[in-house]
Amino acid sequence: MRIGTYHTFQHPEWTDQRELYHQEFERLELAERLGYDDVWIPEQHFTRYCLAGDPLALASHAAARTKRVRIGIAVMNLSFAHPLRLAEEAAIVDVLSRGRLDMGIGRGYQPIQYPVFGVAMEETRQRFEEVLEVLLKAWGTERFTHDGRFFHYPEVSVFPRPYNGNSVSLIMASNSKDSAQIAGAKGLPALMARPFTTNERIGADLDAYTSHLRESGRSDAAIDMLLDKSAVMKLCYVAPTDREAYEEPREALRWHVDILRRIMLRADEPAPATYDHMRERHATLEAFDYDAWWRDVLIFGSPARVLERVRELQRIGVRRLILWHGPGAVEHVKVVRSMELFAKEVRPGL
């Protein structure tokens, strides 16, 4: 199993934004030293939830401070992107990192962001499709033209080329039945954010994605490769004892849940049906019960408890796991301890 870490630059009111970037990058460098396989950075805008409005700039800095780990973006919102600029900027980071960039792609989920960027939520699926089409043209051909619904380009070439060939490594956000089906049809690895989801549901989602790959005519070897590259993100906190792991992150997680309640699509908000899965997530947040989450969905606990939770994920087919250590901006030294305990006392048992 490949293990990554998620670095989100969260900014609760009690934190200092002048320090949070430096602390997050200290942890990112630590992840490489501890043997984690990849580090991940989000794209988010306009709230304290994640101060990550320019993920490629953050990824470029990560590339300069690391040598081995892959650098992932989870995820780049294609609905807001200028495709040619994104093609150039992503390829630059890919070259600077010597081919270590894994660019997650999606269409977002926070209603506040769309009107600010001048994008209608009804158009995000079409924009996603067109931006992806332009990206693949830009990276895969010497010269191309494009005449689409949203973008029109005369004959143009885009440089630099991606480090390892005709495309930056892509992985597609697959957080709804529709997006998992699209990822399968396109032959893209699936990036599944499942912080509040039971293992039973995650297993069902992986099975559905695998079925979509088979329906698209992929060979067994191709499916195996795509499942190796697909990833599941979960919340994680490791402490010396179960009691410490239960108590220490509790208030930070409450802040995390509260801000998500405010910024995610609510059941009574108007939005296209393609965002109905986000209404379901909001309902899950409204029903937040720390004890139930501790029991059923969180990878929180002593090394022994966390090892068993991760083994459960292995048993249902998860091959690549992204750990969000200390969500809600748990104290820096305790997040460091969590990362260290996982690397030294959990991972050897996997």
- The one-digit pLDDT tens for each residue of the chain (350 residues) are 999 999 999 999 999 999 999 999 999 999 999 999 999 999 999 999 999 999 999 999 999 999 999 999 999 999 999 999 999 999 999 999 999 999 999 999 999 999 999 999 999 999 999 999 999 999 999 999 999 999 999 999 999 999 998 999 999 999 999 999 999 999 999 999 999 999 999 999 999 999 999 999 999 999 999 999 999 999 999 999 999 999 999 999 999 999 999 998 787 777 778 888 778 888 888 999 999 999 999 999 999 999 999 999 999 999 999 999 999 999 999 999 999 999 999 999 99
- Looking up tokens 């209404």 gives 279
- Looking up tokens 């305790």 gives 334
- What pLDDT is stored for residue 78 in this prediction? 99
Q: Which residues contact 141 (CB under 8 A, 6 or more apart)?
A: none
Q: Are strands 144-147 and 152-156 parallel, antiparallel or unpaired?
A: antiparallel
Query: What is the rounded CA–CA span in Å between residue 326 and residue 31?
Result: 14
Q: Are strands 152-156 and 320-325 parallel, antiparallel or unpaired?
A: unpaired
Structure tokens at 97: 């990192």
Query: What is the rounded CA–CA span in Å between residue 234 and residue 343?
Result: 16
Note if the pTM is more than 0.95: yes
Helix residue ranges per DSSP H, the chain: 17-34, 55-65, 83-96, 113-117, 124-140, 177-186, 199-215, 220-229, 242-247, 250-263, 276-286, 290-296, 303-315, 332-341
Domain parsing of the chain, residue ranges: 2-349
Query: What is the rounded CA–CA span in Å between residue 274 and residue 289?
Result: 27
Q: What is the pLDDT of residues 271-329, one digit of tens each?
A: 778 888 778 888 888 999 999 999 999 999 999 999 999 999 999 999 999 999 999 99
- Looking up tokens 């022994």 gives 304
The 8-class DSSP code of residue 48 comes to: T
Q: What is the pLDDT of residues 224-264, one digit of tens each?
A: 999 999 999 999 999 999 999 999 999 999 999 999 999 98
Residue 137 Cα distances to 84, 95, 171, angstroms:
10, 18, 17
Query: What is the rounded CA–CA span in Å between residue 347 and residue 322?
Result: 13
2-349 CATH fold: TIM Barrel (3.20.20)
- What pLDDT is stored for residue 303 in this prediction? 99
Query: What is the rounded CA–CA span in Å between residue 109 and residue 304?
Result: 35
Query: What is the rounded CA–CA span in Å between residue 325 and residue 348?
Result: 18
- What pLDDT is stored for residue 264 in this prediction? 87
State the number of CA atoms in the 13 A half-sphere of 292 facing the CB.
8
- What pLDDT is stored for residue 16 in this prediction? 95
- What pLDDT is stored for residue 274 in this prediction? 80
Structure tokens at 146: 């494009």
- What pLDDT is stored for residue 343 in this prediction? 99
- What pLDDT is stored for residue 93 in this prediction? 99
- What pLDDT is stored for residue 258 in this prediction? 97
